[in-house]
Structures are given as C-alpha cells and as structure tokens.
Structure 1
Amino acid sequence: MRPRLAVAATSTALVLAASALTACSENTGDTDDSDNGGGRQFTSSIATDPKDSQGPAAEVAGAQRGGTLRVIQEEDFEHLDPQRTYTFFGMSIQQMFLRTLTVFREDGNGKVLLVGDLATDAGKDVNKDCKTWEYTLKEGVKFEDGTPIRAADVAYGIARSFEETIDGGPTYIQEWLADNPTYNTNYKGPYTSGADTVPGLTVKDDRTLVFNFAKPHCDLPFALSLPTSVPVPKAQDTKTDYDRRPVSSGPYKIKEYARDTRFVLERNPNWDPNTDPLRHAYPDTIEVEIGPNDQEATERALASRDADAGAVAWDEVPQALVNQVLGDTSLGDRVLRETAPSVWYLSINNERIKDVKVRQAIAYAIDKQGILATQGGEASGRVTHTLLADTTIGQTDYPNPYDGGPTGNPEKAKELLGGQTPKLVFMARNSAFGQQTAPIVEQSLERAGFDVTVQYVDTPTHNPTARTRGNPYDIYLSNWAADWPSAVSTIPVLWDGRKLGPQGNSNVSYFNADDVNAEIDRISNLAAGEAGPEWAKLDQMIMEKYVPVVPIYQDNSLLVTGAKVGGLLISDQFGTPVYYNAHLKP
C-alpha cells in the first residue's frame, strides 16, 4: 500500500490550465491535447459557461441504482474533518459526502474540467487582476438535515482552518488571505480569536462570498477545490471531535464509524443531484472495511466471492501479486493502472541532521530500486532524483551530484562520513508498507556506515507525528504530489522554512534556508510562462546545496476490483480511485 502525505496532483493535461491562471490574465484555461506517453490523450479546461457547473451529472452508461460498494483498506483515515484533511486517502471518500466551492470533473478518458461545485461557476475575477474573487452559491444546496448551505457556512469552514488545533490541512487560502506564511499571527480562528470574520473574506449575502488579497492569486479556483472550502455549520461544530462526524453536504452521509474497523455511508435524502455536476449516488451504501492488508484485499477482490464481488482493493496490488494480475487478461477493466504524479521521498529532519555531509551520505546510500521493488517494481513507479514530479510545469531532469544510482553507492557515502558512524532514528509505519520498506532503508544506510534504529508507529499517527516540529525522528518516508501541476504547490509548501509552526507542517524535513526563501519570493511573482523553468532551477539548487530530502520514486497506481464493480476510475487529479461514477453491475 502507498499512504500519501498530501493530496495528489492533476495530470500533465492540466499543466497549461494552471499556467494560464497563474499568468493572471483573463482566460478559459483551455489546453491542447497532450499525450502522457501511455497512448491516452488528455485535455483540460476551466469552465467559463455556468451550464458546465450545473447538475445533474451525465449518467454513466449501463449504471443502475442499488447494492453496496465495498472498499477494503488497511489503514483508517487520518482525518475526516475537511479542514484537517490533506491526504488522497481522505479526499477520495470525502467527495461522496462533502462538497467544495469548485471541483475537478473527470470522464475517465483524460478530459478534466474545473467547474463550480457548491458555487455557480469556477469563480469571478472581479477586477481582472486576481486580487478580488467573487463566488455565488447555487440555490438548493443543503446540509444533510435539510438546512440551506449559506455563504457564511463556507466562510466559517475557512475560518476554523486558521485554528492551530484544527491542523493538518492545506494552508494556501489562509496564507493568501493573511498575506503571510505564518497565517494565524493575527487572526487565529473562531475558537481562539472569538470571531468568525476572517480578514480579507467577506460574506456579501447568504449566497455570495468575496475574497480580497493583497497580491494576485490567480490559482484560487484550484485552491478552492481542496477541502478548506467545505462548509461547516457553526452550531454543529464540535471542534476537534468534528473529525468523528462531519455534517454531510454531498450525496451520502455518515451512518457508522468504528475507528480502525468500519466506516459506512448511506444516502443523504437532502442532496439534490440537480445542483451537482460531478457525483452520482448509484450504490445504496458505501462500506469501508478497515484492517486487511494489501495482499488480503487484492486476493479477495480477485476471488470476487459473495460480497467481495462489489469490493475495491484500495491499497493497490502488492509485489507478490503484480505478475498474476498483469498476466491475467480475463480481468479486463477490473484492473486499473495509471501513472500517478506523486513522488516518494526519504525526508531528513534537518533540525536534527544539521551536517550537510551526513545528508549527502544518506542520499548516496539509499537503495531506491530496492524500496520500489517492495511495492511492485516498474508496475508501481519509476526511480527518480528530482524534487518535482515530471508532470510539473517546467520540470527538468538534471544530474544530481549526490544520487547514488538506483541501488545506492555505500562506498561514496562512507567517504563522506570519514569513519563516523552517525546514529539515525527511522520512523516507519506499522503497516504492510512500513514493514516492507523499512528493512531496505535500514540495510542501505547500515551498509554505508550508519547506525540505524527503526521505530514503528501506527499508521494513523505517522503523518501527524512527522508534521510535528521537534519530533524525535531523524528520517521517515513521505509522499507529495502537487495540488495542481505548478511548482507553486510543491516547493513553497515543502521547503519554505518561514511557514514552520509547532504542528501541521507540510515541510516535514524542517528545512529553512534564507537564499531558498528569497528565490521562492522572487519566482512566485513571475508570470507562469517564466516561473516554470525558474522553479526547476531552484529544484536543482536545493538538492545540490542542501539535500533536505532524498527523492526515491514517482508513483503509479495499480489496483483491482471485484467482478461487479463498474464506473470506478483513477483520478488524474488524485492519482487514486474516486467513487462518484461507481456502481454495481447486475
């Protein structure tokens, strides 16, 4: 399985759409067709016709209502609270019971369109300078109890994302509104500041929100597709306990949640499909079984007995079953295989490992191919040595001077260590993934002269621990994909040290360098056409000068379903399964 640290990027197809918006000029975001190398043509655009944001979503050919869709996964969700959710894992299921202001609509064949979800469209750039944006909510959108969703509910959701106790989610909107990487210096959220009013965010009336920024932020329509913009009714906000039972705004609502065991969604009778351009509600229920590892889940989906005929093995095909799955042509569309634009890193805690030579030695030592082999080898990804995924605007391949090659270079690492035996504490997930990958990391480093202690932690606490500053670990495996395919949503998020706080950090390498921060500021003010190559140069400079992490491999997705599952697709946005077209075959 491949637990992700953050949400996934969109496909290469969206690169030009993101580029156009970031240029801060009036545009539609249209792109030309682009081949991803696998023979599938991608197109993308940003909807300008309000009809594209209307519902109902076009029916899926052959789909019918009824039955139970089952999802089998090893891990529980890190968070269900939308303002705390920043994983593929959570976002893919949340789409079925929570709605955002905008959303990426995909057809499964490479066509991706950014449309209004709760909003009537993808947003109005009021003065054509990307500083003032207006969003109007659709009529008829409701919470699960039938209460109309108001602009104030969306604003309240955004307000609570400023709270330090509501940590873990994306922070783009907060930083842009505050015009400060440390976004809650002044306004600290409704619990702490005692006010629901976020500076820069105005509730104009029950259906209208206005965002005012000090600087242009032409990527706002993209950022509002993240769960920061999910509405939360203030009267039902249980603060940190909201993680257990968020209020639904989508086609399903939570029926049952037994931590580490079971999560069940049932239909929400107050969801109106005429307001929803994305989702269907074909299954009567969606049941998530938590606990079985990737091998068991895949074997059950393959066998497709009884209830498992309607099951999705979410954690992907393990190495032991890759050849069997890929070699069985009778499985047909039950096998889902797509490139995922996410990169796995060995993150190095730079506040603990301050000697750059030690970080260089770690980079030389790592057996990247061995780590990838535990997850299925070439079927699951490709070895890499750049910070940016190859789906990122302007990304280039460069000779990384501290890359030890696919299997590592322990002798070169030993030269750098000069006879030292540095001690490293490695935090690994207590899961199939962690148990498979940790021995490879440990052996790689010990061959190079390191003294490694592996400490396994339960998976739901792994990412929050990595995100907590001052954690007692030197290294850990992490994953990142851009929230949209500009390096704006990678490099400033992961390597701008000015954003570091006590918890909820995406910069889990705790890297902070003045010259890198200055370059981030400079490039962020460039038009997209100029910025792409400059971000690529900064990628190279960071790795050549500092080595804050070790890029290991770029991910693929490979999974199987039971015989009765139809309509499931691998999202070009998430790189993981999404369920809004899923249905049960007769």
Structure 2
Amino acid sequence: MANGLVILQSQVGLTDPHVVNDNADSLNILNNLFEPLVQRTRDGFRPCLARSWHVGEDARTWEFALRAGVKFHDGTTLTAEDVVASLERARSPDVGGVLGTEGLFHGYLGAAVIAIVDRHAVRLVTAEPMADVLDLIASIPILPAAAMGAVLENPVGSGPYRLHDDAGRTVTMVAHGDHWQSRPPAFDRLAWKVESNPAQRLRQLQLGEADIVTGVSHEMGLCMEADERTRLRTAPSNVCTVFMCNLLQGVCTDTRVRQALNYGFDQSLLIDRVTHGSALPLAGPLTVKHTGHDPAVAPYPHDPGKARALLAEAGWSQGMSLVLDVPLELPDEAVELASFLAQQYAHIGIETEIATHADRPVYAQQVKAKAIHDACCFDSSPISTFRALREKFHGGLKGPWWLGYGNESLDRNLNLAQATVDPDRRRQLYRSAYRTLHADAPWIYLYNQLDRWGLSPRLADWQPTVDGLIFIA
C-alpha cells in the first residue's frame, strides 16, 4: 500500500463494540473505528468525544460536555441523544459478553440515571459513589442512535478510520475525512489481515509485505532484533498471570498456606523457563500500569525454609495435597506453569495434582461459579484498578471473580476509594489495598507478561496505547 498499512493478526473480524471483550485482535480493530467520551492515558484520562467533564463531591453526579461538530462515518453529527443511546445499549443486560463478562456494565451502571442536559451535554448519576466511573466510560464506544440496530452489519463510528470492506480474512478501513481533529490520519488505508502462522507473519514483515504484526513470540522477537528490516516493540501488558486461591473451602483458607505457596517457588526461574524472560514479576494483584501499584513492595522471595515453617505452623508438617485447575488456553502456558509449581512444591512437602480443562468458556463460568479445587490459573486483565479489586476481593460485594477473600478493613478501604474524588488520595487508598493483598496472598502471584509487536522501519516510532492496543492516528 503506497500510503496504507498492512497489519497481520492471528484473527480479524468485526465484533459488537458494546460487548466486553479483552481479545486484543478484536479490540485493535474497534479502537480505530469507534471512540468513547474519554480516553485512558498513562496519567489518567484525556478528552475524546467529551471536551470536558465534571464530577460532584458526592462522586455520583457526572456531567459530560460534548465536542461540537463531531461527524460520524455516515455524515450525521454527534448529539447527546447518541451518547445516551450508546450508554443505554452498553448497560443493557441483553448485551452479551466473552469469557464470563456478560452483564458487566449492567452491574455497574444498571441503576444509574442517564439523562440529556441539552443537545451537547449528558448527565450520569450513579446509584452509589463511583469516583472511577471514567474507567467504565472509557470502554464504551459512542455510536449514532440510529445505527444501534445494525452494529455488526453496518458499523458506524467516529474514529479516524471508517469501514470500507469486511471480506472475512481481511478488514479494510479508509481514512475518515471529517474526523473532529481536523487533520487527516497519517495513512489513507488500513488493511487488517489474518495470518495464523507466526513464522509467516514474521516472513511477510521481513519482505515488506506487512507493517505491524501482533502476537510476537520470544523466538520471533530475537529474529526481529537481529534483522535491519524489522523493529521490535515491547511493553508491559495489563495482565496478571496468577493462580487464584479458593478461600471458600480447602487448604487455601489458611493465610499461612497461601503465603507458603508464594514463598515455595522460584519466581525468577519460572519467568525464565516459561516466558524466556518476557515478563515482570508480580508482588500483588496489580501491574506497573495500574493505579495503586506500589513499586516499594517486593515480590515474595523464593524461601523453601520459610514455606515449610508456615506449612508446619498451619498443621501440615507431614505434607499436604493441592489440586490446581488449569485451562488449555488463555493463558496458553497454564499447564506448563502448574507443572513447574508442582515440581517446586514437592520440595516443601506438597503433592500437587493438576486438573486440566479443555473448554475455555466453560472454565471461565466454572471459576465464576466458584466451582474450583484449591487454586485455578487465571489471567486477570482489567486495567481498571477499581474493577480488578472490587470484582475479585471485596468481601461485601462478592463479585463475579471473588473466591472467598474476606477482609473488612480492605472492604472499607475500597469503599472509601470509591467515594474519593481526589485522584491522588484515591491512589494512596489503592496502594494501601495493594499492600494488604500482597501480605494476605489470596493469589499465587506469578508474572505480568510483556506484549510484543513487530514493526516495519517506517513505524519505528510507533507505540501501543496504554492498554496495549493498536491505534493509528
């Protein structure tokens, strides 16, 4: 393409923009077609379709002032009616989800009042304080109200590119000439193509037939770094790869056992062997990209002696049995992780059984139903600290991925954060929660995987978005 880009992914295809989905290949495409009211940055949020916003001291009342003159791909102009219709559709209980995310926006915004203030302003009043509501708003694309009935057949957004053709294995976009930023995108056309073979993705990049490739393995990355025809971009993901412990029943109800499970394996060796060094060690349930992550908290060191002492203190001096649930994909290395832990735990008197699950959607529902053994492998992906901590650890709420953790002090901390408008104070509250969750060890903390992209030389300065997606402006 003379002034176009070719992007190779393992899958392409248009998905419903209001279905909660953490598949990067799908989100990359949506990210260039649609826009939300606000966009996440490394330091917070910036205006997008909303030129400004205000939240009341009650942390419940939000008003969004819309940009004037924003044109959708069909030529219609953005109004408050479009925003309300989009928020209403996103929070509808009838909108599905992927891998257990159905009903997510309904759970947070189902009881909120969404109203038109005037043609260019919208008010959102949540049922309870929700100081992090922008975490949700940034994930809801705005569509024309009239286009809601055909979001897949005829997707209409306001992003820098509009859909030209969906041919199954290739999705083509062309520049949106009336984009509100008043300057044309850097490229006239984007072609998103399916190439499931990683070696072929690399080969096409080397031959100049592609400009961005996703899903770059460790081996592919080494080839790219040694080849002047390619560039490698690496960045931390927002995914925590962990084993979530069953705190409702079984051996992991004892904090000392969970701490022993964290002391009982060599985290650095695991990262080297399983990811070839392509990950950062976790010390808690948040990555370096999350608000509230505390770099002063060190990961659990490998200390078999301390692990054995904790197990003995918990009444397991003569040995203990552990059953780990693992899916066969997402994370794809789950079985390898469980096998590594089993080998390491044998040295501290733990006999480990591995239960594998071939159907990933069923596995997600099983975890959501709390129907697991002692611990289950999971890749926790929300970049929202508010969502990650509320859905997984708040004992009063018992969210979708909560597995029995109970700490009234942490619940009060999270409730206070939810009602605290000041972002710096809220960050400190989340840091306090992070330190508590490090010490209580409701999860076996493994790593934060690094994402990789292959680039052509003309995109040497390209960077992913803060949530690890492709966006071409």
For Structure 1 versus Structure 2, the TM-score category normalised by the shorter chain is 0.7 to 0.9
Structure 2 counterpart of 1:248, one-letter code: G
Instruction: Sort the Cα spacing of 1:428 and 1:331 in 2 relative to 1 into closer, same or farther, 3 A.
Output: same
* Alpha-carbon distance in structure 2 between the residues aligned to 1:475 and 1:316: 26
Q: Which of 110, 115, 127 pairs up with 1:202? A: 115
Question: What per-residue deviation string (whole Å, max 9, x for no partner) do you get for residues 172-212 of structure 1?
Answer: 9766xxxxx6x54xx5xxxxxxxxxxx42112344321123
* Alpha-carbon distance in structure 2 between the residues aligned to 1:408 and 1:145: 66
Matched, 1:516 2:410: yes
Match of 1:479 in 2: 380
Matched, 1:151 2:80: yes
**RMSD in angstroms over aligned alpha carbons?**
4.2
Matched, 1:578 2:470: yes
Matched, 1:98 2:34: yes
Q: Which of 44, 69, 72 pairs up with 2:6? A: 69
Matched, 1:541 2:436: yes
Instruction: Sort the Cα spacing of 1:397 and 1:79 in 2 relative to 1 into closer, same or farther, 3 A.
Output: farther
* 1:47-86 matches, cutoff 5 A: 66-73=3-10, 80-86=16-22
Structure 2 counterpart of 1:368, one-letter code: Q
Match of 2:171 in 1: 264
* 1:415-454 matches, cutoff 5 A: 415=312, 417=316, 418-429=318-329, 433-434=333-334, 437=337, 439-441=339-341, 443-444=343-344, 448-454=350-356
1:100, distance to aligned residue in structure 2 (A): 0.8
1:338, distance to aligned residue in structure 2 (A): 3.5
Structure 1 counterpart of 2:142, one-letter code: V
Tell me if structure 2 keeps the 8 A contact 1:335–1:561: yes
Q: Which of 117, 124, 137 pairs up with 2:48? A: 117
Matched, 1:291 2:196: yes
Tell me if structure 1 keeps the 8 A contact 2:265–2:341: yes
Instruction: Sort the Cα spacing of 1:129 and 1:164 in 2 relative to 1 into closer, same or farther, 3 A.
Output: closer
Q: Which of 466, 485, 495 pairs up with 2:393? A: 495
Instruction: Sort the Cα spacing of 1:466 and 1:257 in 2 relative to 1 into closer, same or farther, 3 A.
Output: farther
TM-score, with length taken from structure 2: 0.78
Match of 1:60 in 2: none
Matched, 1:385 2:287: no
1:563, distance to aligned residue in structure 2 (A): 4.7
Question: What per-residue deviation string (whole Å, max 9, x for no partner) do you get for residues 528-560 of structure 1?
Answer: 444444433332333433x32122123433332
Q: Which runs of 5+ in 1 are unaligned?
A: 1-63, 176-180, 188-198, 582-586
* Alpha-carbon distance in structure 1 between the residues aligned to 2:453 and 2:470: 12
Tell me if structure 2 keeps the 8 A contact 1:96–1:279: no
Tell me if structure 2 keeps the 8 A contact 1:365–1:413: no
Question: What per-residue deviation string (whole Å, max 9, x for no partner) do you get for residues 431-473 of structure 1?
Answer: 7545654543554456631111222345xx3885476324556
Tell me if structure 2 keeps the 8 A contact 1:383–1:406: no
Match of 2:302 in 1: 405
Q: Which of 291, 314, 337 pairs up with 2:234? A: 337
Question: What per-residue deviation string (whole Å, max 9, x for no partner) do you get for residues 72-99 of structure 1?
Answer: 23x6689543342345554333221111
* Alpha-carbon distance in structure 2 between the residues aligned to 1:292 and 1:323: 17
* Alpha-carbon distance in structure 2 between the residues aligned to 1:464 and 1:244: 29
* Alpha-carbon distance in structure 2 between the residues aligned to 1:103 and 1:278: 19
Matched, 1:249 2:158: yes
* Alpha-carbon distance in structure 1 between the residues aligned to 2:30 and 2:193: 12
Instruction: Sort the Cα spacing of 1:212 and 1:71 in 2 relative to 1 into closer, same or farther, 3 A.
Output: same
* Alpha-carbon distance in structure 2 between the residues aligned to 1:339 and 1:231: 31
